[in-house]
Every structure is written in C-alpha cells, then in structure tokens.
Structure 1
Amino acid sequence: MPRYYFNIIAGDGIREDLEGTELPSLEDARLEAIEDARTLMSDAILLGQDISSRRLEICDEGETCC
C-alpha cells in the first residue's frame, strides 16, 4: 500500500509530515487531507487563530506532490 505525506504549507515555511500514512489510493489521501484540514481549522477557531493562508500538500513516496 502506498504511503502519502501531508505537509502543511504556511507563509513562514513548510511543516513536513515525516511519518506519512499508508492509504490505498490518492483519492483516499485527498479524503484524509480534507479531514485533517477540518481538524486544523476547528482547532484554530477554538484558539482564535487565522490559518486561512495555510494549505495541505499531499506527496507520495516518490516525492510527487499535488
């Protein structure tokens, strides 16, 4: 099963996902990224933070990112 990495891109740099997650397909990785983004947004709202400029980048084991 392929491993996908979910990096967080922000104005101050990149927080790389060094562990990754094994998922059956890129579509499953996209669904996982949506769930991760929702969690990040919820946590930010509770803390009064604006993370609207951040984005998630999905990379596979071959370092191809989308």
Structure 2
Amino acid sequence: MTKPADDTPLITDPLKPEAVDGRVEAVDPPESKLKMTADAAEISAIRLLDAADAARESIKPSRK
C-alpha cells in the first residue's frame, strides 16, 4: 500500500524562537503539521532550548 503524496510545504529555515516575559515565542509556526529538513529541525531544537533557558533566567528571582 502506497502512502498518498504529502503536499505539506517543506521548511528549510530553522525557527527563530525568543524568550519574552518568561515564555518562549516563535513567530509564524504552522498551525498544523510541521515538516522540516533534518538540519532545520536540529537548529530549531537548539534555539528552542536556548530560548527556554533565557525565559527561565528572566523570571528567576535575583540573589542579593
């Protein structure tokens, strides 16, 4: 049985998430399936981890 052709556009550029007020935001992620190249997915994952860390740091109480 053959799988039907998938017409979901292939994303070749990684996401550019940012830490904003203690949360991570990414502009224009697709509303449904996300189909990425392996490189774009890997870079996006690293960027998401970095943004998550920055978001946590922005809400962490400072030690005085």
TM-score by length of 1: 0.38
Larger radius of gyration: 2
